[in-house]
Amino acid sequence: MAFDPADLRGVHLVPLTAFDASNRINEEVQAQHIRNMYDAGVRIFMPAAGTSEFQSLSLDEIVKVVEITRENSGPDAQIFAAVGFQVQHAIDIGRRALEVGATGIMFMPFAHPYLSNEGARDYYLTVLEATKCPALIYKKAPIPSDALLLELADNEYVVGVKHATNEMHEFRKVIQADGGRIEWICGSAERFAPYYMLAGSPGFTTGAGNLCPHLSLACHAAFAAGQWEEGMRLQAMILPIEDFRARNGDSYNVSMLKYAMGLMGPDFGPARPPQRQLTAQDRAEIDALMKPIFAAEAEFRREAQSVGLSG
């Protein structure tokens, strides 16, 4: 059955990866987390992507978290497995992830030196031809260029781009040039979501949604409905998370979220090196900033449950 790119119009959750005391995937905690996110209304998952610690996961671990995501969500969940590094590594992840229930793949930003658009084109096309599935391309740097992305939009397998350069005028121009062939998603989460959506993006990625899924979904719903004042009000509630994660070159991205998850319940374990580890002062700041966010999330969850929109 052909993939409908309209299914990408929403909140794209990058679920945290839970580790146990032995630094292995904590499958029980991971499974419960996915159930919680699905029950909250999340329908688009990016397991093992950046906030999921893609670069620190083995091939087997990536496939396992994709499998857990499929088994603990629903048939309507769109699940895109992160792929990258060597060509064959990306192909192997993609094929194995599809076998355990992934909808498609998402190309992570290149980690290679000495890049060119010509080489990037060869890489994408080789993996696409080998996996033959719906694919997203994550743009966070000059390569791939917008011109290359527009060229690749003609490929039958490319269904969208996760765009995260935060250059709004250039983003607006590329959406206009594309003419609606694929979906162009804000890859910079709630902090930049209103600006991307005003420019034409139909959705955004979220890491904060691990902590406050109802708030993230409500924020998206408001922006999608053109209710900008309400959307900005909800965004303001989430911004303390995003601003903390953005400190020192975004180096708190993962560790902040994993610590905050433990304030709600199960321990997700620390982020793997080379991710930043938190100080006592960091933890105290997170304790304080999360209290009003958790309170707001609880209120939105109750409201959603009262009208049957949340499990």
Per-residue pLDDT of the chain (311 residues; tens, 9 = 90+): 589 999 999 999 999 999 999 999 999 999 999 999 999 999 999 999 999 999 999 999 999 999 999 999 999 999 999 999 999 999 999 999 999 999 999 999 999 999 999 999 999 999 999 999 999 999 999 999 999 999 999 999 999 999 999 999 999 999 999 999 999 999 999 999 999 999 999 999 999 999 999 999 999 999 999 999 999 999 999 999 999 999 999 999 999 999 999 999 899 999 999 999 999 999 999 999 999 999 999 999 999 888 887 77
Cα angle 222-224-227, degrees, rounded to a multiple of 5: 40
| Amino acid (1-letter code) at residue 97 | A
The reported pLDDT for the residue numbered 257 is 98
Q: What pLDDT does residue 22 have?
A: 97
Looking at residue 304, its pLDDT comes to: 87
Task: Place domain 5-305 in its CATH homologous superfamily.
Answer: Aldolase class I (3.20.20.70)
pTM given for the model: 0.97
Identify whether the C-beta of residue 309 lies closer than 8 Å to the C-beta of residue 284. no
For residue 310, the model assigns a pLDDT of 76
Give burial (CB, 10 Å; 0-12/13-18/19+) of 55: middle
Measure the CA–CA gap between 134 and 33, rounded to whole angstroms.
25
pLDDT reported for residue 1: 58
In 3D space, the residue among 6, 85, 73 whose CA is nearest the CA of residue 46 turns out to be 73
Domain boundaries, the chain: 5-305
